[in-house]
Amino acid sequence: MMPGPLHGPELHTKMTIDNSTTRFSNRVANYVRFRPSYPPEVLRSLTDDFGLRSDHLVADIGSGTGIFTELLLDAGHTVYAVEPNTAMRDAAEQRLAHLSNFRSVHGTAEATTLPDHSVDWLVAAQAFHWFDVDRFREEALRILRPPSMAAILWNNRREDTPFLAAYETFLHEFAIDYAKVKHQNAEADGRIPRFFKDGPFVRRGFTNAQDCNFDALKGRTLSASFMPSAEHPRYETMIESLGRLFDQHARNGKVTIEYETCMYVAKAAYGA
C-alpha cells in the first residue's frame, strides 16, 4: 500500500543563493497567485500520444505549490506531490488536501521517500533544472515500474515580441543569478538526453499566455527566485524600471507574457 501524506522535519540546510530547496521560501505568495498554469493540450497529449491513463499513479517531482499537480488530480490521477520546501508544500496542501487523490510528500528529487516500483509515471514541471540529474535518474528508476514513463516540462517565456524582448533585457539588468539558474540551461547543456540515457525522447510544444496588469506583472516577476526581494538595495529601482516598462508596452492596461510550453517525454529506463 502506498504511504499517506508525509510530514517529516524540515531539511536543515544553510541558506545560500545556490540552495534550490530553500530559495523559493519567500516567494510562495507570489508563486501561488501569479505563476501560469499549463495548457490543457499537455495532459491531452500525455493521454492520447503516450498512454497516460486515469488509473496510473503519478509522482510529481518538485511539485512546488501544486500547479501541475492540480491538473493531474482533476484528470483523476492519484498524485504523490514530492516537494522539499516546507512553505511551497504547505501552500499546495492548503489548496489540494481536500482531494482524496492528493498525497503530499516531503522529499527531494534525489530522495523521494517513495517505495520501490510504486508509481507508473513521473513528471517534473518547472523543476528539473534544479535536480542533480544522475541521482534523480537513479531515483526515478527505483520508484517507477515498467514501462517507466517520464515527462519533463517548462513554460518557456518567449522573447519575440517588443514587450518580451524588453522584459528579457530588464531581467538581465536586475536579476541576481538569472544566467546561471534559468531553466533553459537544462535544455541546452545536455541534461535532458543524459536523464533519458541518450535514448529517444519526444519533444512537444504548446502555446500558453498570461495577460497581466501591473500588479500581476510585478507578482510574476517577484515569484522568480533570481529577482531581488524587498530588502535588496536595488529593489525600489527595479520596481520603478518595471513600471516604466509596463507603461511603455501595456495595451488596455495589460501586457501579455507569451510562452511555449515545452514537454519532453520518454521511458526513463531506456538504456538502464
Residue 69 lies in a domain: yes
Q: Is the pLDDT of residue 89 over 90?
A: yes
User: How far, CA to CA in Å, does 140 sit from each of 57, 114, 210, 254, 270?
Assistant: 14, 10, 32, 41, 12
Which CATH number characterizes residue 38's domain?
3.40.50.150
User: pLDDT tens digit string along 229-263?
Assistant: 888 999 999 999 999 999 999 999 999 999 999 99
- Tell me which of 4-13, 125-134, 219-228 is least confident: 4-13
State the residue range of the domain holding 189. Answer: 25-156+181-207+260-267
* Helix orientation angle between 67-74 and 41-50, rounded to the nearest 10 degrees: 60
Kindly state whether residue 230 falls inside one of the protein's structural domains: no
* Per-residue pLDDT, 9: 30
Q: Is residue 95 part of a domain?
A: yes
- Contact of 182 with 188, CB cutoff 8 Å: no
d(CA 141, CA 149): 10
Tally the domains of the chain.
Answer: 1
Quick: pLDDT tens for 6-32: 433 332 222 233 465 556 667 899 999
Predicted TM-score of the model (pTM) = 0.89
- Please report whether residue 18 resides in a domain: no
Any domain includes 9: no
CA 71 vs CA 77, 92, 207, 223, 237: distances in Å? 9, 13, 17, 20, 37
Is residue 100 in some structural domain? yes
Mean pLDDT of the chain: 90
Could you tell me the pLDDT band of residue 85, with boundaries at 50, 70 and 90?
very high
| 12 assigned to some structural domain | no
| C-alpha span between 234 and 245 (Å, rounded) | 16
Does residue 223 form part of some domain?
Answer: no
